[in-house]
Amino acid sequence: MSSPDDPTVADLSEDAILARIFPHLPQAPGTVVPPGDDAAVVLAPDGHVVVSTDVLVEGRHFRREWSSGADVGWRAAAQNLADIAAMGARPTALVVALVAPADLPASWVEGLARGLAAAASPHGAGVVGGDLSGGPAVVVSVTVLGDLEGRVPVRRSGARPGDVVAHAGVRGRSAAGLALLAADRADLDPGLVDSYLRPDPPVGAGAAAARAGASAMLDVSDGLLRDAGRIAGPSGVRIDLDPVEQAFAADLDRLAAVADALVADARGWVLTGGEDHGLLATFPAGTALPAPFRRVGRVLPGDGSASVTVGGSAPEVEGSGWDHFAR
């Protein structure tokens, strides 16, 4: 349903679409060759570049009736920025590949560019390139680059028994927001819905954790229990989270009313809800935790059995995360 006021991508040439996108994309001071050539050139002052990629697919990661183009752009940028933060690095640049069905309004694509810019600009990251194609569904594939600023990358494998486990960011809000949308009850708590549509990872906390000496870190994208296991496994340790009512009291409070209304389990949202994109890190005992990290558990020796426990016991929740191909 195109109109002169709101043409679809099929109404416009590729060059015309790009001309609508470019003005919205953020520039970054480290961009030596900007978009428009075969490739962009970005400063990598550290002599290393950190790189990660994440893809969002319509109907699987978002629905167009729930998420605007700007929401999807924000989310695509935010989850990529979180991956760079999780290495202890500073994001510098993003490139974006967009697959768009013929009926996608050009205004949706402009929104996507605005959302990318809104999420990336505050962190000094520019959008330096992209590609555009037709296709059967909207696919947004973002690759992000980062700079370590002289720091050693913080990997998943460095947790040691005796370390403190700490978390920065919110827990369970994205899952609760999605549950509200699925129940057609967005009106109950628009703030939680916004947490699903536009997750706000603590990007700057990644570099702060690295400076404070974090021994391991990751972006919690698939749920706290599952992702804690992704530190525990490679590190050969057990992660024992503090009781949820203690470690995540503020998150449970925030979710309580909606959990009641939807007859849902706020504890489950906190432990297994995905896509909040908080940072989970371990620090040597005695480290002064950099804000906004707070203690949520401890690292114990691995014993070959459960790699993640809560209050010393196997967690009592169904599932431990989600799988992109689960049926």
Stretch that binds its own copies, among 68-76, 77-85, 107-115, 301-309 (CB under 8 A): 77-85
Residue number with CB closer to its own copies (47 or 286): 47
H or E element, residue 233: helix 224-235
Sheet arrangement for strand 164-168: 216-220, 278-283, 164-168, 294-301, 237-241, 308-310
Stretch that binds its own copies, among 59-67, 162-170, 256-264, 303-311 (CB under 8 A): 59-67
Q: Which of 4, 29, 32, 288 binds its own copies (CB under 8 A)?
A: 32
Work out whether 49 is an interface residue with its own copies (CB under 8 A): yes
Min dist. Cβ of residue 243 to its own copies (A):
27
Stretch that binds its own copies, among 41-49, 69-77, 248-256, 292-300 (CB under 8 A): 41-49
Work out whether 129 is an interface residue with its own copies (CB under 8 A): yes
Question: Which string of DSSP letters, residue by residue, matches 130-190?
Answer: EEEEE-SS-EEEEEEEEE-TTPPP--TT---TTPEEEEES-SSHHHHHHHHHHTT-GGG-H
Q: Which of 1, 4, 5, 47 binds its own copies (CB under 8 A)?
A: 47
Work out whether 14 is an interface residue with its own copies (CB under 8 A): yes
Work out whether 299 is an interface residue with its own copies (CB under 8 A): no
Work out whether 1 is an interface residue with its own copies (CB under 8 A): no
- Peptide bond preceding 292 in cis form (omega within 30 of 0): yes
Hunting for tokens 């973002």 — which residue is that? 142
Residue number with CB closer to its own copies (86 or 244): 86
Question: Which string of DSSP letters, residue by residue, matches 287-308?
Answer: --PPTT-EEEEEEEE--SS-SE
